[in-house]
Structure 1
Amino acid sequence: MRTSTLNPLTNPGRWRRFTSTAATAAATTAALLLAGLATATHATATPQTPASSSATTKVTWTATPCATPKHKGDLACNSVRVTGGTTAFEKQRAARDGNKDGITPKAGDTTTPSGYGPSDLQDAYGLTSAAASNGDGETIAIVDAYDDPNAEADLAKYRSQYGLSACTSSNGCFKKVGQTGSTTSLPSADSGWAQEISLDVDMASATCPNCNILLVEASSASMEDLGTAVNEAVKLGAKYVSNSYGGSESSSDASYDSAYFNHPGVAITVSAGDSAYGAEYPAASRYVTAVGGTKLSASSTSRGWTESVWKTSSTEGTGSGCSSYDTKPSWQTDSGCGKRMIADVSAVADPATGVSVYDSYGVTAGWYTFGGTSASAPIIAGVYALAGTPSSGSYPARFPYDAAGTSALNDVTSGNNGTCSTSYFCTARSGYDGPTGWGTPQGLDAFTG
């Protein structure tokens, strides 16, 4: 969990250009009582062994190292990694499968997956049929900072575990390049961003198993380098570009919009942030689909799942809010925000109901459970890819707005990510709201244009 010395209510855009004080505070951790969504407790150092009783089970997690920028002005990744306990979904899935006494291995056990896998995500978002038949010939680009030397090998472990077809450089499915497009001149390796990369490529695979994956590694976590990597991804032909990073807004954002994110006919997804209520950039760009985060739980409903806003504490949860700088796109018609409103749509991001990821660089090689809106952004990129190539000249960020209020989206109506003067900025409601946008996918119709 990251903390800030800034007041999140008076300065909601607060994460891109870290001071050394905030960067140091960014490494703190959190724990959440899962039963009944009880209040989280916070640790200031190494995550503590979770306490438990017959009624409750705690899970602990920590922000990944890339959530603490190396240099002032860098952007932060939006991922958190579970470090202990038994996640709520494990109990739910055991009960659903009739295994009343069985619990899958704890989230801290790296030998076995302990988070949601491809079949869970596809079922939750109505994608099972589409994932089996769609995506051939489509390329999802993943943009992150620094190099993950084990990216291809770790992806192979993930896909093999879940019975997905091989996606390798030799069969043309996987390609890794630097921000200039070179396959040999790559950035320096970084174990923190490697965890982010593993999360991103695994989620793209989970949602769109038939898609090719292009990993574009920026030389640093600066907006200029990451933006250059976005442009390179589009130059290399990707029609879907996932970005799981962000930071505070600035008066330079309009120029960044023009330089890096104005790509008609390309679906660009950006995580809304993990710092609870407050606007981040580039999620605030009018040219991207800003993706918020939810808590996803199995249920006895006809859908089989329920969702609420992801919030752990006043400083951890999905981002949302009204931009201070970015122009409102024409398809946004909410009356409370005169500029760009975040988010547009959402998907699972709560680490307590997190996703399984395989990672081996700089950590004990094995399975980990991740959360954060770094998970939801590539999931939505995969949904766009399943839906097919956007029409030339279109801005796919508007597609969910055209489908608003239909069965193509699961409307998330409960939860909040903080306190705000305009309620829908931070509180879920029927229809559009900031934390979850128009909701989560239910099939492809909201992403086809």
Structure 2
Amino acid sequence: MHSLIRSALRRGGLRATTASLAVGAVVAAGLAVAAPAGATAATGTSQADAHRAGTRHVCARPTQPHQMACLALVRTDAVQPHAFSLGAVSADATPSGYGPGDLQSAYGLPANGGAGQTIAIVDAQDDPNAESDLATYRAQYGLPACTTANGCFQKIDQNGGSNYPTPDTGWAGEISLDVDMVSAVAPNAHILLVEASSANMSDLGAAVNQAVAQGAKFVSNSYGGPEDATDTTSDSQYFNHPGVAITVSSGDSGYGTEYPAASQYVTAVGGTSLTPDSSSRGWSESVWGSSFGGNGAGSGCSSYDPKPSWQTDSGCSARTVADVSAVADPATGVAVYQTYGGSGWAVYGGTSASSPIIAGVYADAGTPGASDYPARYPYAHTGALNDVTSGANGTCSPSYLCTAGPGYDGPTGLGTPNGLTAFTAS
């Protein structure tokens, strides 16, 4: 039986990675094997592939100034987990999409990271099933329990209390993605979920300030909206927190900048397509997107925010997005468990995945310096990152703002984590 499965996997050109193999049921006259959503036969995934994969945004797009949208994408065609059986032989399949072991392998991360740290997740609206869904995700992958009862998980409103906002099925999907990715990358960290009253920047910003006031040294923000002239005011009100690593998704619409990723005080996180290969690393990455644009990781030159001192690229005199990146392509997506608005296991992508991943890497690396802006750390350790050199998210000039190449580029920044050195205080 197992030899049949291995043979089927070889014929499909797939590699069974840790915690990401979904095996189909034996049907009728033959063996049906379901591929993990994260595995593809080719290195990198084209935008056409992503369209064929079938995705939808879980949140509505902004309809008014200063309104943000979450940046989570869910696969609509993803293979759902189920068991296979034949006679007396049976086994439980693992969920489709990459799990903690895959992400730790791809980015050289410890399996027990995050101890002693608190990572805050800032989102809008309420997910009433956040804690119970998180418990299912962590149990699936053998991660330590993270509950209110044991002090690991806490959910608060933007004022620090328990007057939670109105539940929303779209933002609930975002919340599930965020807490699951933090768990995957920093399984021993505490999780603080701060729910803003609305998707307006003023409420989300108040939630960021509340997260910092609660003592979190790592704050992930997986949302964005159009830039405008008030962004520098929002910078000073909500994101100027020395000693705190604030990560923000760069966007899911291809070339073009969004706020708050364009804030000079945050780590803007771009996105990649992540695929297993036969290299010594075992993985390869390319830009999530295509030269046609319209979908993929956001990047570009800010229209309003000044350039931080640690950025030295010459084609943009203002703030350049992004700084670093991680997997975001839904076609090479991650496993997420969500029941409020979802039916359990699903495959997610978007730079909503890469932001909490990088927040978790910062937490694994240790507490930032009290007066530091941790966004500068990767710029001091460029050799400690996986340089992504292929792919594009649109067409632009100068080309590095939308096209990958050696060294810094817009869609992937300086690259993806290769251990913790690039995220550690100098």
**TM-score, normalisation: structure 2:** 0.85
CA offsets 1:293-348 (integer angstroms, 9 cap, x no match): 00000000000000000016521100000001001000001111000000000000
CA offsets 1:201-237 (integer angstroms, 9 cap, x no match): 0000000000000000000000000000000000000
How far, CA to CA, are the matches of 1:381 and 1:244 in structure 2? Answer: 11
Q: Give the equivalent residue in structure 1 for 2:424.
A: 448
How far, CA to CA, are the matches of 1:138 and 1:42 in structure 2? Answer: 35
Q: Is the 8 A contact 1:155 1:198 kept in 2?
A: yes
1:102-113 correspondence runs (5 A):
113=95
Does residue 120 of the first structure (1) align with residue 98 of the second (2)?
no
Does residue 226 of the first structure (1) align with residue 204 of the second (2)?
yes
How far, CA to CA, are the matches of 2:199 and 2:158 in structure 1? Answer: 12
> Alpha carbons of 1:393 and 1:42: their partners in 2 closer, same or farther (altered >3 Å)?
closer
Unmatched 5+ stretches in structure 2: 1-38, 82-90
1:71 CA displacement: 5.7
How far, CA to CA, are the matches of 1:362 and 1:188 in structure 2? Answer: 14
Instruction: Tell me the SS of whatever aligns to 1:318.
Output: strand
Aligned length: 376
Does residue 217 of the first structure (1) align with residue 195 of the second (2)?
yes
How far, CA to CA, are the matches of 2:247 and 2:46 in structure 1? Answer: 31
How far, CA to CA, are the matches of 1:191 and 1:350 in structure 2? Answer: 22
1:363 CA displacement: 2.4
Q: Give the equivalent residue in structure 2 for 1:255.
A: 233
Q: Give the equivalent residue in structure 2 for 1:97.
A: none
Does residue 356 of the first structure (1) align with residue 335 of the second (2)?
yes
How far, CA to CA, are the matches of 2:299 and 2:321 in structure 1? Answer: 5
Q: Give the equivalent residue in structure 1 for 2:24.
A: none
Q: Give the equivalent residue in structure 2 for 1:131.
A: 111
CA offsets 1:158-207 (integer angstroms, 9 cap, x no match): 0000000100000000000000000x211110010000000000000000
Does residue 397 of the first structure (1) align with residue 375 of the second (2)?
yes
How far, CA to CA, are the matches of 1:303 and 1:368 in structure 2? Answer: 27
Q: Structure 2 residue aligned with 1:198, among 168, 172, 176? A: 176
Does residue 439 of the first structure (1) align with residue 415 of the second (2)?
yes
Does residue 338 of the first structure (1) align with residue 346 of the second (2)?
no
1:67 CA displacement: 3.9
Q: Give the equivalent residue in structure 2 for 1:50.
A: none
How far, CA to CA, are the matches of 1:69 and 1:120 in structure 2? Answer: 33
**TM-score, normalisation: structure 1:** 0.81
Q: Structure 1 residue aligned with 2:396, among 400, 420, 423? A: 420
Does residue 162 of the first structure (1) align with residue 141 of the second (2)?
yes
CA RMSD of aligned residues (A): 2.1
Amino acid aligned to 1:68: R
Amino acid aligned to 1:410: N
Unmatched 5+ stretches in structure 1: 1-32, 44-57, 91-103, 106-110
CA offsets 1:343-372 (integer angstroms, 9 cap, x no match): 0000000000000000000222x1000000
> Alpha carbons of 1:172 and 1:344: their partners in 2 closer, same or farther (altered >3 Å)?
same
CA offsets 1:1-59 (integer angstroms, 9 cap, x no match): xxxxxxxxxxxxxxxxxxxxxxxxxxxxxxxx96654552898xxxxxxxxxxxxxx52
Q: Structure 2 residue aligned with 1:40, among 42, 45, 48? A: 48
Q: Is the 8 A contact 2:62 2:225 kept in 1?
A: no
How far, CA to CA, are the matches of 1:446 and 1:85 in structure 2? Answer: 34
Q: Is the 8 A contact 1:131 1:386 kept in 2?
A: no
How far, CA to CA, are the matches of 1:177 and 1:39 in structure 2? Answer: 38
> Alpha carbons of 1:412 and 1:190: their partners in 2 closer, same or farther (altered >3 Å)?
same
Does residue 322 of the first structure (1) align with residue 301 of the second (2)?
yes
1:136 CA displacement: 1.6
Q: Give the equivalent residue in structure 2 for 1:178.
A: 157
Q: Give the equivalent residue in structure 1 for 2:128.
A: 149
How far, CA to CA, are the matches of 1:85 and 1:332 in structure 2? Answer: 39
How far, CA to CA, are the matches of 2:403 and 2:325 in structure 1? Answer: 14
> Alpha carbons of 1:421 and 1:176: their partners in 2 closer, same or farther (altered >3 Å)?
same
Q: Structure 2 residue aligned with 1:63, among 57, 68, 78? A: 57
Once structures 1 and 2 are overlaid, which stretch shifts more, 288-297 or 73-82?
Answer: 73-82
CA offsets 1:242-278 (integer angstroms, 9 cap, x no match): 0000011000000000000000000000000000000
1:113 CA displacement: 1.1
Amino acid aligned to 1:116: Y
> Alpha carbons of 1:245 and 1:418: their partners in 2 closer, same or farther (altered >3 Å)?
same
1:74 CA displacement: 1.5
**How high is the sequence identity, in percent, across the aligned residues?**
65
How far, CA to CA, are the matches of 1:340 and 1:73 in structure 2? Answer: 19
Q: Structure 2 residue aligned with 1:367, among 334, 345, 349? A: 345
Instruction: Tell me the SS of whatever aligns to 2:195.
Output: strand
